[in-house]
Structure 1
């Protein structure tokens, strides 16, 4: 399975629905596309572009994907990131009309393997404390670049992200130590936080094809 998340900046006052229509027309005709999720990032997103696009292919992406993305009308810039799942879970695979949250993070070059594993374990424990996280997935980025991990969640309501998730003691009193340069466990030195509406669950679609 090939998984890729992309941040797209739009040109001027372009309607994101027109961009999505171009993508669906070009990709859904081909074989191998399991899921395409596209949404405009909501206010409160940080370090992100205008829109989030996620692509899920059963195998490799089509050979013309690079050209297709470069030729999209109304798109000023695209940042692509392939990732490989290392863990996750599904509570509501049929979730529809919810909120898709993507956290891109970069671990410090000085971080030890033990610190990185502990960070990953703490992130994957979050849903046990937060029932509002309906589906979730943590992935590593295999290629060198600005990000090392992708942490994704699906929520039924935006309040479950902005309320329970961000305000939960497990988050700010435990997990945040990995992100705080004033803490001895500081491991993450950069993040980007994007959240947008979604029509149907990507993680519910991906689960049967996951090997972890």
Structure 2
């Protein structure tokens, strides 16, 4: 089983939740991107399945093509959070030719964010499995929050975020701006946990 993230056209998201009843699908959760999201296509779908969600979506009548990535986990933490939560997904691409050492430093800085930002509950950092889904994206950084303010408030405005993480996304910072400017920063409500223990 592989966990996947797919960016889907805007429309009705309940059909993707029902995909859990399809053979070979062990988890499926989708929802419309909330205001403030950018770079997505309307709906974000998290699915764990034994095959690409492209074929699953085609069977559900979803227009193609989809922006779909297979996740190769780097590290994660699941924190209990009863009830609905906001699930945030950041898809990013490290510039081609970036030395492995710089990529490792970016990953380490992302992994340190939950030590500084108290509103983050569960989180996961993954590389994109290019063998399963060749993609322009290289990494997926996910978190869950109790509410939107946990993301748009403390997370995005935290000094650690501004000083240690944002530099990797700024092409004008010598030796650090290694992330391509095109991003997908999408967040949505989920009734249940998406980032569960593996």
TM-score (norm 2): 0.89
- The question of whether the paired residues in 2 share the 8 Å contact of 1:98 and 1:198 is answered with yes
8 A contact 2:19–2:28 mirrored in 1: no
* Structure 2 residue 94 is matched with structure 1 residue 101: no
Counterpart of 1:122 in structure 2 is 109
Contact 1:9 1:77 in 2 (8 A): no
* Aligned partner of 1:183 among 165, 173, 178: 173
Corresponding position of 1:2: 2
TM-score by structure 1 length?
Answer: 0.84
Aligned to 2:100: 113
For residues 165 and 96 of structure 1, the distance between their equivalents in structure 2, rounded to whole angstroms, comes to 21
Q: Is the 8 A contact 2:126 2:139 kept in 1?
A: yes
Q: Which one has a larger percent strand, Structure 1 or Structure 2?
A: 1
In structure 2, relative to structure 1, the CA distance for the partners of 1:24 and 1:195 (3 Å cut) is: closer
Q: Match of 2:142, SS?
A: strand
Relative distance call for 1:7 and 1:106 in structure 2 (3 A) is: same
Distance 1:75 1:145 in 2: 19
Number of residues paired by the alignment? Answer: 193
Which one of 57, 82, 88 corresponds to residue 76 of structure 2?
88
108-117 or 77-86, which deviates more: 77-86
Please name the residue that 1:49 is paired with.
41
Structure 1 residues not aligned, in runs of 5+: none
Q: 1:71 to 1:100 in 2, by over 3 A?
A: same
CA distance in 1, matches of 2:19, 2:82: 26
Determine helix, strand or coil for the equivalent of 2:107. helix
**Contact 2:69–2:129 under 8 Å retained in 1:** no
Give the C-alpha shift of residue 182 in structure 1.
Answer: 1.0
Please name the residue that 1:134 is paired with: 121
Change (3 A) 1:203 1:26: closer
RMSD: 1.9
* Correspondence for 1:164: 154
- Decide whether the 8 Å contact of 2:31 with 2:45 is kept in 1: yes
Partner of 2:187: 195
